[in-house]
Chain A
């Protein structure tokens, strides 16, 4: 979002789509911290809701939750996770019962749990970068 100061630029970990993140945030590391933190908190919150909907067998509500969190992974440069959430969303749409998508549900949650760990670690790196520059 602003010209990148090469010397002070933050190097995103290989797990993340660095090219897109540079384009999205430029050198604005503070905004990146804000978005990474928001994403981490919101996804955690929504997963609790998702578990409840899955228990109730409400696949329509379940789909809505994953639809909502899907772009968040894009904002933190985890495009592959965003695509996988899209696939799960499609599976929700086709499912007649929640039990039909039990396997996909477990798989996507495992993926998301791993992604959240990556986001948390990257947020800490971003914060450390800010502190180093201060």
Chain B
């Protein structure tokens, strides 16, 4: 059995508050294997996003307390890294894309500028080389006119286009892991399929493992290999997708399936 690419052991996230602390993620553990798409499923508020942000080290330590036995990415324990070392890892070995494409990109810089800055920062490229690479990357995510996109500002582009630019940025350095936090929830149905296909295709091509956070079981069924079910900050069940749907072990998983799939199977 090969080593998992990402291995999270007993991750807890607590919000620091003057009167009372509240635990948002409670001792969560899971593995992400090489070249697989792992779904993290659950209702809103169950701690999926906070788990991902904690793995990425994005939670400011004055408001959040993050504890974990280990968060291993290809052997390196992310939880033990210094801030400077973690910055080198983010966007390069592990990337994340977010739910709201409309606000995720910086409105005052062009898409090209933002894409190039990732390449310059992590690959040490010159501006010229970065520009060429960026255009190639934009083609890879399905843009027919990459030059036009490079020069455009985010507000001139649709939500689906912005999300594809984010994917381009996230995959530009061929990371080991990509965390996609509900990447298509804010998009309309036809764009959803397009974006998810781009995402999984690129993942296969680059050998990137994908952690796909979603509350949509349809997406899980179509694109994911395995799934982890979360509820109230804890993991409830973990299984390969076909097995999860045919033989759900936990009561909560069964409830989830009934709620969404019941309509379809009827």
Are A and B interaction partners?
no
A-binding residues in B (CB < 8 A)? none
B-binding residues in A (CB < 8 A)? none
